[in-house]
Amino acid sequence: MTSTQSRQRLARWVAIYSPASIRTPGAITHLAEVEDFELKKRGEIETPWPSQRNSDEMQVVYKLREVRELERPIENRGPNGLNKRFSKNRWTSRLGIMSATELREILLETSAEWRLYEELRIRGAEFTLQPGSTRLLDENDPWGRTWFVRPRLHVQYRGAAGFLIRRRGMRDEYCSNLDEVVAAFG
C-alpha cells in the first residue's frame, strides 16, 4: 500500500503479468475483476514464500473473481522489440487493457490518447511514451497521464481543455484539433 496511489483502493480490475521466466516474452496474460479488498500487515498474509519485507508494512489484498486468460497477451516487447524489466505496479484503464498489443500501450488510458497514438503511428512519427503521475480519473472529464515525447516537444491530453503542447523555449498551448496536434510532431 502506498499513500500516493489512491487508485489501489478503487481498482476494479487486476491484470496479471507473467515474467520472462514463465513465458517469452513476458506479458500481461490474465485479467480478473476485483470483488473486494482489505488492508493487512504483510506478516498477516500467508504465502508459500518467505517475506522479504517489513512484516508491519501495510498491503492491499484483493479478493478476485474468476481469473481469465487474455485471448491476446499484451507482450513486453516495446518499440523495436526491446524488452524492459517490469518491476513495479502500473496503472491503466480497461480501455488500455482491451486495446494494448504491447506493454507500453497500457499507458494510454483515454480514447483521445489512443486516437493520437494511432494517428502518429500511421504517419510514421517518431515519439516515446512517458507516464506522468498516477491520478484518479474523472469520469466526466478524463485526463490522460501519458506524455507523447520528441526532442523539444511534450504533448499530453488534458480532458475538455484538449491536448497540452509543450515546446522547449515556447509558451504552453492547448489544442483540441487532432490534426493540428499531429502536425506539431512534424
In the chain, the domains with their CATH numbers are 1-80 (no CATH), 108-186 (3.30.310)
Whether this prediction's pTM lies above 0.85 is answered by no
Residues 6+ apart with CB under 8 A from 133: 145
Backbone angles phi, psi at 64, to 5 degrees: -105, 150
Reading the chain (186 residues) residue by residue, the pLDDT tens digits are 776 667 788 889 999 999 989 998 999 999 999 999 999 998 898 888 877 778 888 889 999 999 999 999 999 986 655 566 666 667 788 889 999 999 889 999 999 999 999 999 999 999 999 988 766 666 676 788 899 999 999 999 999 999 999 999 999 999 999 999 999 998
Nearest-angstrom CA–CA distance, 168 and 24: 39
SS3 80: helix
DSSP string across 119-160? HHHHTT---EEEE-------TTSPPP-EEEEETTEEEEE-GG
